[in-house]
């Protein structure tokens, strides 16, 4: 595996990804969705908490949809369309491919999230809320989650079809965000349900670690430590998923 | 092995330098699988492939080979030039290749005018030529071409054949899979005939044909094996 080849594949994947016309449509839709915040601002009589909550939720929701759209077939397409032949018959390894695809797709996901974040920050500024630096912190946490999510999609697309990858990613995303709430709730129920939910809680990633949207809009103090821990958590999960993606791809019959 | 079936079984080939070797066989005979093993895309369950005395699985060996897959698919949103540069950049020894060098290669295969157009707008023949160009991007000593004349019109076929002849003149070794026997006869010094994964013949075209057309001899060889 060489850093140079990873970089070459990253650049190629990024270029390919951001030239997708459907992506432009999705980003435009996302921007419009966030602009709805202007309408909401009127309804809520300029309530900044409402405006920021809706805006940040919009950036998260559309950003996640775009990431799934871009990533659900990232490796599958390479195998099915046999474009991998061009890469692997050259001095490039399976590891180069997995990492290059991951970083290229992650770069595209970061770009689209930042574009929508710019619209969000513009809306808050227009509504007299100034530069929402705390909102930007929530976006940074979202980018950490996106890193995990892109790695998950890279892994899923190496082992299954785009439809299966999309469904599995959506389920993991859902459970990742609701498992901590579920753990609290099953404490009262107990028995097998509690054991099952506890096991799932430890097996599945806890994506609530990346959700600080409520914290930032309600002005709860922020510190650097949880951010560093969340970054390490995302990096660990991403590394494990990418390793498995590599192992599965290597065993695949080309 | 594919399941319990050996797709390529006991194939032993030694190809001399600076020869054009044609690998002939029916659809599903094992030509493409054998070629994929030769360029390191597949690992044989048993046996090995060596090029210039080194295993093809070594990264250094892939520095000196070029491979064009059959009916290639591309990154459709890239331009022809970008794709070629992407392929070139994967070779450590060719990273410093200039734009002019890539353009010269595109001129060589006859798609220079379309260099800045997205590949999705290319015709089948243009894609075939681009696939051919990327196999030469590292100036390889050994060129593997899987059905290089497929999908080309007669003029395109003639042009590609001229390039193959030129590559031989430049001292390269060419291994090509083909089912267009007329062209193979014209291009190749040696042929191998593969049928149901087994090698039926490997040697000079002259000896194989013994004065008869290659196509007749090929059919006779395969039918004799089927009896």
Question: Tell me: the pLDDT tens digits for B15-55?
Answer: 888 999 999 988 888 899 999 999 989 888 888 888 888 88
Clarify whether residues B119 and B227 are in a common domain: no
CATH of the domain at B32: 3.40.50.300
Taking contacts as CB-CB distances below 8 angstroms, the residues of chain B near A4 are: 89, 92, 95
Last residue of a domain, one of B138, B155, B175: B138
With CB atoms and an 8 Å threshold, state whether B60 touches A81: no
Chain A interface includes B88 (CB < 8 A): no
Q: What are the pLDDT digits (tens) for A61-70? A: 999 999 999 9
Chain A interface includes B86 (CB < 8 A): yes
Clarify whether residues B162 and B222 are in a common domain: yes
Please check whether residue A179 lies inside any domain of the structure.
Answer: no
Cα separation values, B148 from B59, B62, B152, B183, Å: 25, 20, 9, 11
Do B163 and B105 touch, CB atoms closer than 8 A? Answer: no
Residue numbers of the domain that contains A228: 3-161+210-251
Last residue of a domain, one of B85, B119, B138: B138
Clarify whether residues B224 and B146 are in a common domain: yes
Question: What pTM does this model have?
Answer: 0.90
Taking contacts as CB-CB distances below 8 angstroms, the residues of chain A near B69 are: 82, 85-86, 89
Clarify whether residues B158 and B224 are in a common domain: yes
Return the ∠ at Cα A83 (arms to A14 and B15), rounded to 5°.
135
**Which of A86, A108, A251 is the best substitution to test chain B (most B C-beta atoms within 10 A)?**
A86
**What is the distance in angstroms between the CA of the first residue and the CA of the last residue of chain B?**
25
- CA dist B96 and A100 (Å) reads 20
Predicted confidence band at A219 (pLDDT cuts at 50, 70, 90)? confident
Clarify whether residues B27 and B126 are in a common domain: no
With CB atoms and an 8 Å threshold, state whether B92 touches A2: yes
- Which residues partner with B120 through β-bridges? none
Q: Which of B41, B75, B138 sits opposite A12 (nearest CB)?
A: B75
Tokens of A203: 């097996």
Taking contacts as CB-CB distances below 8 angstroms, the residues of chain A near B88 are: none
Give, for B221, the enclosing helix (H) or strand (E): helix B214-226
* Helices and strands (H and E) in chain A: how many: 11, 0
Check residue A217 and give its pLDDT.
Answer: 84
With CB atoms and an 8 Å threshold, state whether A254 touches B42: yes
- CA dist A27 and A225 (Å) reads 32
Burial class (CB in 10 A: 0-12, 13-18, 19+), A195: exposed
Clarify whether residues B227 and B177 are in a common domain: yes
Clarify whether residues B127 and B177 are in a common domain: no
Tokens of A2: 């060489």
Q: Which of B62, B67, B73 sits opposite A81 (nearest CB)?
A: B73
Residue B165 burial (CB count, 10 A): 14
Smallest CA-to-CA distance from B66 within B160, B159, B16, B138 is with B138
B131: closest chain A residue by CA: A86
Q: Domain count of chain B?
A: 2
- Does residue B143 register a pLDDT over 90? yes
Cα separation values, A56 from A121, A227, B13, Å: 10, 18, 64
Task: Identify the three-state secondary structure at position B200.
Answer: strand
- Which residues partner with B173 through β-bridges? B142
Please check whether residue A242 lies inside any domain of the structure.
Answer: yes
Taking contacts as CB-CB distances below 8 angstroms, the residues of chain B near A83 are: 73-75
Chain A interface includes B67 (CB < 8 A): yes
Clarify whether residues B198 and B150 are in a common domain: yes
- CA dist B45 and B225 (Å) reads 25
- CA dist B54 and B64 (Å) reads 11
With CB atoms and an 8 Å threshold, state whether B86 touches A12: yes
Chain A interface includes B40 (CB < 8 A): yes
Clarify whether residues B147 and B222 are in a common domain: yes
- CA dist B115 and B79 (Å) reads 6
Residue numbers of the domain that contains B205: 1-64+140-227
With CB atoms and an 8 Å threshold, state whether B73 touches A83: yes
Q: What are phi and psi of A159, to 5 degrees?
A: -115, -10
Q: What are the pLDDT digits (tens) for B90-142? A: 998 877 889 999 999 999 888 999 999 999 999 888 898 999 999 999 999 99
Q: What is the ipTM of this complex?
A: 0.87
Please check whether residue A238 lies inside any domain of the structure.
Answer: yes
Check residue A215 and give its pLDDT.
Answer: 86
Q: Which of A15, A89, A90 sits opposite B78 (nearest CB)?
A: A15
- CA dist B198 and B29 (Å) reads 8
Check residue B2 and give its pLDDT.
Answer: 63
Chain B interface includes A70 (CB < 8 A): no
* A88 to chain B, closest Cα gap in Å: 6
Write the CB contacts of A188 (distance below 8 Å, at least 6 apart in sequence): none
Clarify whether residues B126 and B23 are in a common domain: no
**What is the distance in angstroms between the CA of the first residue and the CA of the last residue of chain A?**
19
Q: What are the pLDDT digits (tens) for B147-173? A: 988 878 888 888 889 889 999 999 999
With CB atoms and an 8 Å threshold, state whether A15 touches B69: no
Check residue B90 and give its pLDDT.
Answer: 94
A21-43 and A94-126 helices cross at what angle (nearest 10)? 30
Cα atoms in the 13 Å half-sphere on the side-chain side of A240: 10
With CB atoms and an 8 Å threshold, state whether A88 touches B74: no
A252: closest chain B residue by CA: B42
Last residue of a domain, one of B138, B163, B187: B138
Clarify whether residues B221 and B158 are in a common domain: yes
- CA dist B203 and B12 (Å) reads 12
Task: State the sign of the Cα–Cα–Cα–Cα dihedral A171, A175, A176, A178.
Answer: positive
Q: Domain count of chain A?
A: 1
Please check whether residue A216 lies inside any domain of the structure.
Answer: yes
* A5 to chain B, closest Cα gap in Å: 6
Tokens of A4: 């140079």
Q: What are the pLDDT digits (tens) for B23-34? A: 998 888 889 999
């Amino acid at each position: 595996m060489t850093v140079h080849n990873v970089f070459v594949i990253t650049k190629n994947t990024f270029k390919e990804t951001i030239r997708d016309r459907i992506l432009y449509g999705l980003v435009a839709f996302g921007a419009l969705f966030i602009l709805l915040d202007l309408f909401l601002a009127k309804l809520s009589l300029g309530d900044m908490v409402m405006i920021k909550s809706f805006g940040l939720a919009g950036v998260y929701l559309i950003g996640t949809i775009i990431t799934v759209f871009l990533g659900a077939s990232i490796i599958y397409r390479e195998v099915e369309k046999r474009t991998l032949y061009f890469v692997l018959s050259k001095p490039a390894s399976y590891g180069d491919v997995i990492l290059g695809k991951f970083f290229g797709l992650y770069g595209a996901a970061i770009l689209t999230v930042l574009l929508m974040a710019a619209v969000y920050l513009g809306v808050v500024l227009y509504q007299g809320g100034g530069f929402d630096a705390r909102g930007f912190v929530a976006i940074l946490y979202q980018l950490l989650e996106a890193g995990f999510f892109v790695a998950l999609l890279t892994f899923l697309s190496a082992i299954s079809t785009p439809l299966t990858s999309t469904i599995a990613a959506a389920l993991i995303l859902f459970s990742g965000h609701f498992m901590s709430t579920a753990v609290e709730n099953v404490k009262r129920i107990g028995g097998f349900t509690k054991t099952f939910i506890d096991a799932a809680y430890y097996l599945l990633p806890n994506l609530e670690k990346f959700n600080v949207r409520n914290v930032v809009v309600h002005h709860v103090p922020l510190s650097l430590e949880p951010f560093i821990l969340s970054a390490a958590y995302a990096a660990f999960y991403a590394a494990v998923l990418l390793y498995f993606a590599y192992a599965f791809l290597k065993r695949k019959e080309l | 092995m594919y399941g319990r079936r050996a797709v390529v079984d006991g194939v032993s080939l030694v190809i001399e330098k600076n020869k054009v070797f044609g690998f002939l066989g029916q659809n599903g005979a094992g030509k493409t699988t054998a070629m994929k093993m030769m360029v390191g895309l597949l690992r044989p369950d048993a046996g090995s492939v060596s090029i210039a005395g080194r295993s093809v699985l070594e990264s250094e060996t892939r520095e000196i080979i070029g491979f064009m897959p059959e009916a290639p698919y591309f990154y459709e949103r890239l331009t022809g030039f970008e794709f070629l540069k992407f392929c070139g950049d994967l070779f450590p020894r060719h990273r410093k290749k200039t734009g002019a060098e890539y353009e010269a290669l595109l001129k060589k295969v006859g798609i220079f005018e379309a260099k800045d157009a997205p590949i999705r707008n290319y015709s089948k023949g243009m894609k075939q030529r681009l696939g051919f160009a990327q196999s030469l991007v590292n100036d390889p000593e050994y060129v593997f071409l899987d059905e290089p004349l497929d999908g080309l019109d007669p003029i395109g076929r003639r042009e590609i054949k001229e390039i193959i002849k030129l590559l031989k003149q430049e001292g390269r070794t060419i291994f090509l899979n083909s089912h267009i026997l007329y062209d193979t006869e014209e291009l190749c010094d040696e042929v191998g005939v593969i049928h149901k994964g087994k090698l039926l013949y490997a040697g000079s075209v002259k000896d194989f044909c013994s004065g008869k057309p290659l196509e007749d001899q090929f059919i006779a060889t395969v039918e004799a094996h089927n009896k």
